[in-house]
């Protein structure tokens, strides 16, 4: 009887103490940390079942990414290092909200419906970020895993991308890399040094940067890279864990507020980088001679990367399909540049890495980045084989062979499993070095449209529903019609609203040709949402 297998799962220490509904969203479960213990326990149970179902190791990451310290969360990482399969998101949600009295029957239902062989051994690789609540939640997750006799590999403090990386390395018997943190650092550092060669600086490129680590777990990883790369890249580290996590620092803060993070000295034309709390987002920025702030976000990174790969493909003589995937948050200036100048196919999908990742898989080389700086590049196995075979082609010119070899090498610099802020940073540094560009030259490739993001607190964020990759609002009725009327008043105006996948808010995005008008456009749309979607608290403002 399957029910006998689950006899020991009821644990009074981790009974459900909160009646509120919690949902596995874009980034897993994420909410106030003090109501998550029973969820973590149950996700430990579920991770064991998922491991048995896949007959492979599964990852479990405790983090709330760019959220502030009071929050925490958990996400499951599937066997290929990707986000959890969509069908299992609902399973996770149902299990998290099941009554204690129904816990065993729910587990029996899951194992039966998914045809899980309970005799198969299970391995769960677990990691956590630096939040004060993470050790408590780790204990709960471990209790769940051990209740079903799962084997645990506890990595301790790791970035989210590092856990994704180690999961896929474990399940490919090391073919993707050594399944250890040392293996992660060694692989990326070795490739970075190899591609760069002996020339540390090149043209206007100077091999030093200032890194804002959001006072998160990424600071630990950044220190390791300081050690591994000290001879080729000078990384000056700020917000290194001595301050409050994500407070007025980190990639999300810099992207949304478009200003310098706390504690970073303002120096002219210096290349700054910000990552977020769990190191899966990255943005660049600088201050010009007139003290103006310049942001180079995920759109800029995507266009830089796509242009680099297009150039290598054309030079190598390889005929492979390169594509770029964006969300509605992508700046209109970047989309115009990609489509009309680079002539690279562009696809738009709903917000959330799982949507971008899935679409990117359709291309031979799929580049995807959200504007917030979360993204990577994916290569089909056939693409990797084609590149290797091209290098062996004796008819190649020296130029073609060099370009093909660079393509092969740069693949190993990229964490294909998920957006990895530090891997992406090293990729950007590699491209800037190859082009001999400083951050100012990089920005010259195209002009962004002025844009603004605002948050509106409402009684129920789910009152907002969208379609067309979240660019068109379905409900409340008449909201989209009114947004369209507002947008028409502004040259090259565009705006959309969507419920947040991680917070109890509605997000507003606006862009237009005039920097003096973009704040007006954003405020008009935000005020409209506040009125038509039952806003709570103070009306939205630009502060």
Is 65 assigned to a binding site? yes
Q: What is the 3-state secondary structure (H, E, C) of 365-397?
A: EEEEECCCCCEEEEECHHHHHHHHHHHHCCCCC
Judge whether 278 is annotated as a binding position: yes
User: Does 498 count as an annotated binding residue?
Assistant: yes
Distance CA 387, CA 407 (A): 7
Tell me whether residue 502 is annotated as binding.
yes
Tokens 């990691």, residue located: 127
Residues 6+ apart with CB under 8 A from 514: 450, 490, 491
147 annotated ligand binder = no
Catalytic residue among 33, 51, 65, 79: 65
370 is in an annotated binding site: yes
**DSSP H helical segments within 294-420, as ranges?**
298-316, 332-336, 353-360, 381-392, 398-411
Give the angle subtended at the CA of 504 by the CAs of 500 and 507, to the nearest 5°.
40
Contacts of 192 (CB under 8 A, 6+ apart): 229, 232, 233, 413, 426, 429, 430
Tell whether residue 507 is among the known ligand binding residues.
yes
User: Catalytic residue at 87?
Assistant: no
Q: Is 119 annotated as a binding residue?
A: no
Tokens 């009725």, residue?
477
Q: Which of 299, 376, 294 minimizes the C-alpha distance to 336?
A: 299
- C-alpha 264/C-alpha 464 separation (Å) is 38
- How many other CB atoms are there within 10 angstroms of residue 513's CB atom? 14
For residue 112, what are the contacts with CB-CB under 8 A and spacing of at least 6? 2
**Cis peptide, bond prior to residue 476, ω within 30 of zero:** yes
Q: Is position 276 annotated in a ligand binding site?
A: yes
Only one residue has tokens 């844009």, namely 451
User: How far is it, in rounded angstroms, from Cα 507 to Cα 500?
Assistant: 6
Q: Which residues 6+ apart lie within 8 Å of 16 measured at CB?
A: 38, 98, 99, 100
Kindly state the greatest CA–CA separation across the chain: 73
Rounded Cα distance between 175 and 340, Å, is: 39
Strand-pairing partners, residue 494, are 511
H or E element in which residue 421 lies: helix 421-435
372 is in an annotated binding site: yes
Residues 382 and 404: their CA atoms lie apart, in Å, by 15
Kind of pairing between the strands at 322-326 and 346-348: parallel
User: Residues 6 or more apart from 538 whose CB is under 8 A from it?
Assistant: none
Q: Report the residue count for the chain.
A: 543
Please give the annotated binding residues, written as ranges. Answer: 65, 276, 278, 280, 370-372, 498-502, 507
Please give the annotated binding residues for Mg(2+), written as ranges. Answer: 65, 276, 278, 280
**Residues assigned a catalytic role:** 65
Please give the annotated binding residues for substrate, written as ranges. Answer: 370-372, 498-502, 507
């Amino acid at each position: 009887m399957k029910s006998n297998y689950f006899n020991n799962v009821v644990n009074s220490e981790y009974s459900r103490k909160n009646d509120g509904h919690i949902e596995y969203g874009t980034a897993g479960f994420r909410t106030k940390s003090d109501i998550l213990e029973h969820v973590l326990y149950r996700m430990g149970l579920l991770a064991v079942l998922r491991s048995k179902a896949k007959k492979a190791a599964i990852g479990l990451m405790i983090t709330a990414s760019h959220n502030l310290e009071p929050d925490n969360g958990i996400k499951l990482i599937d066997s290929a290092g990707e986000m959890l399969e969509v069908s299992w998101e609902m399973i996770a949600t149902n299990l998290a909200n099941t009554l204690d009295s129904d816990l065993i029957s729910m587990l029996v239902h899951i194992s039966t419906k998914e045809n899980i062989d309970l005799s198969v051994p299970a391995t769960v690789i677990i990691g956590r970020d630096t939040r004060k609540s993470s050790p408590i939640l780790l204990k709960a997750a471990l209790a769940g895993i051990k209740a079903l006799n799962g084997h645990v590999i506890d990595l301790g403090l790791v970035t989210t991308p590092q856990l994704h990386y180690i999961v896929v390395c474990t399940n490919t018997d090391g073919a993707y890399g050594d399944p250890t943190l040392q293996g992660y650092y060694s692989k990326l550092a070795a490739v970075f040094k190899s591609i760069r060669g002996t020339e540390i600086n090149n043209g206007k490129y100077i091999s030093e940067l200032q890194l804002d680590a959001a006072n998160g777990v990424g600071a630990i990883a950044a220190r390791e890279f300081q050690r591994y790369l000290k001879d080729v890249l000078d990384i000056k580290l700020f917000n290194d864990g001595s301050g409050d996590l994500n407070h007025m620092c980190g990639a999300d803060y810099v992207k949304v507020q478009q200003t310098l993070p706390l504690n970073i000295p303002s120096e002219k034309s210096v290349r700054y980088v910000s990552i977020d709390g769990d190191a899966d987002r990255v943005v660049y920025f600088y201050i010009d001679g007139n003290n103006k702030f310049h942001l180079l976000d995920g759109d800029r990174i995507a266009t830089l990367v796509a242009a680099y790969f297009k150039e290598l493909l054309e030079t190598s003589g390889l005929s492979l399909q390169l594509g770029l995937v964006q969300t509605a948050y992508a700046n209109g200036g970047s989309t115009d540049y990609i489509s009309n100048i680079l002539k690279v196919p562009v696809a738009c999908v709903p917000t959330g890495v799982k949507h971008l990742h899935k679409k990117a898989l359709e291309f031979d080389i799929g580049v995807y980045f959200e504007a917030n700086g979360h993204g990577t590049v994916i290569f089909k196995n056939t693409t990797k084989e084609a590149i290797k075979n091209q290098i062996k082609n004796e008819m190649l010119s020296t130029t073609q062979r060099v370009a093909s070899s660079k393509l092969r090498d740069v693949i190993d610099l990229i964490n294909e499993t998920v957006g990895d802020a530090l891997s992406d940073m090293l990729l950007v540094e590699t491209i800037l070095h190859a082009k001999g560009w400083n951050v100012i030259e990089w920005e010259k490739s195209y002009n962004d449209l002025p844009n603004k993001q605002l948050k509106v607190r409402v009684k129920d964020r789910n009152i907002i529903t969208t379609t067309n990759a979240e660019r068109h609002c379905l409900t409340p009725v008449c909201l989209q019609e009114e947004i369209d009327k507002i947008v028409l008043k502004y040259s090259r105006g565009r705006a959309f609203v969507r419920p947040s996948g991680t917070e109890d808010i509605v997000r507003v995005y606006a862009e237009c040709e005039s920097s003096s008008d973009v704040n007006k456009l954003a405020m008009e749309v935000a005020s409209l949402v506040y009125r038509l979607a039952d806003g709570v608290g103070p009306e939205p403002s630009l502060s």
